[in-house]
Amino acid sequence: MEFNHYSVMLTETIEELSVKPGGVYVDGTLGGAGHSSRIAGKLKTGHLYGFDQDEDAIRTASERLKEYAPNVTIIRDNFRNAVARLKELGVNGADGILLDLGVSSYQLDNAERGFSYRYDAPLDMRMDRRQTLTAEEIVNSYPESELYRIIRDYGEDGFAKNIAKHIVAERSKKKIETTFELSDIIHAAIPAKMRKKGHPAKQTFQAIRIECNSELKVLEESLGEMIDFLNPGGRICIITFHSLEDRIVKNIFRKSENPCTCPPEFPVCVCGKKPLGRCVTRKPITPSEKELGENSRSASAKLRVFERE
């Protein structure tokens, strides 16, 4: 299956990165190399470092970026390790960093990866197939209280408690092994009159995928380090696809812009914490009507940008 992925807000992201021909750039989520191809095409003496934990993405990106080979280094790793890996290579700062946090269309449409409730497949959901934790293990071994917490917090599903209860009841009879089995259980846990527009399993599948790949934890733990790694005037562009990610990005950007912890009544700052830069996007950039017409999966995307002082 060919690795196809629509590069969300491609024009807007490249514009906000303001690529300099001699700059150092980091794409923490290479995917099909859509954004990276555009960045690499603008470089002369500069360099692009691309990261992805998915072996299929690495293979595809390596092929698609071949023409820019002297200016590109591709590394198979989670972006949480990007700064450490770059420092090992002697890179001490970046002029631009990009994170596109969406699950690629390839991953969603490749049935065997188990990301989607639309195809019957083994419950997998690993973005990096070298890791041992799978969606199947989460569904079959996590305590009911943990399943409830994950579905409530990561899926924001009002029926989280009932879904978790149904999962535990069904797995006591038989191990839950496929996406369709899990989807049917979720469907049964939601009263027919309360099923919203859209698939009833969507939020729970999102929640289990986030847990399986530690997505929010990785973002929270690495974003501050990435901002610190930017050169003066450097920018970090982050594309999110749901409110949980967007909230983390917005809060960390705001804190980086105004890190002062002094009480409001203090006449002057005494904590000594200095701003690291500024939020370029007071309101997030969203896809154009044209893009929404071409790719419905862009609908929930938001682009936020921070510039280092």
Tens of pLDDT, residues 141-154: 999 999 999 999 99
Rounded to 10 degrees, what is the CA torsion of 186, 190, 193, 195?
Answer: -50
Structure tokens of 200?
């009833």
What residues pair up with 167 in beta bridges, in sequence order? none
Domain count for the chain, please give it.
2
For the chain, give percent helix, strand, coil, nearest 5. Answer: 45, 15, 40
Nearest alpha-carbon partner for 224 in 271, 256, 254: 256
Which residue segment(s) compose the domain that 131 sits in? 120-213
1 is a domain residue? no
Final residue belonging to a domain, choices 158, 188, 213: 213
198 is a domain residue? yes
Based on its alpha-carbon atoms, the radius of gyration of the chain, rounded to whole angstroms, reads 21
Q: What is the pLDDT of residues 183-208, one digit of tens each?
A: 999 999 998 877 766 789 999 999 99
Output the pLDDT for position 79.
98
Looking up residue 143, the CATH number of its domain turns out to be: 1.10.150.170
Output the pLDDT for position 2.
54
Output the pLDDT for position 72.
98
Final residue belonging to a domain, choices 177, 197, 213: 213
Looking up residue 36, the CATH number of its domain turns out to be: 3.40.50.150
114 is a domain residue? no
5 is a domain residue? no
Q: Do both 125 and 43 map to the same domain?
A: no
Residue with tokens 């449409």: 109
1 pLDDT higher than 60: no
Q: Do both 221 and 209 map to the same domain?
A: no
Q: Do both 220 and 273 map to the same domain?
A: yes
Final residue belonging to a domain, choices 180, 197, 213: 213
Output the pLDDT for position 224.
97
Q: Do both 200 and 282 map to the same domain?
A: no
111 is a domain residue? no
227 pLDDT higher than 90: yes
Q: Do both 209 and 220 map to the same domain?
A: no
pTM for the complete prediction? Answer: 0.94
169 is a domain residue? yes
Q: What is the pLDDT of residues 58-80, one digit of tens each?
A: 999 999 999 999 999 999 999 99
What band does 4 get if pLDDT is binned at 50, 70 and 90?
low
Other beta carbons within 10 angstroms of residue 127's beta carbon come to 22
Q: Do both 100 and 237 map to the same domain?
A: yes
Q: What is the pLDDT of residues 98-138, one digit of tens each?
A: 999 988 877 888 889 999 999 999 999 999 999 999 999 99
Q: Do both 97 and 139 map to the same domain?
A: no
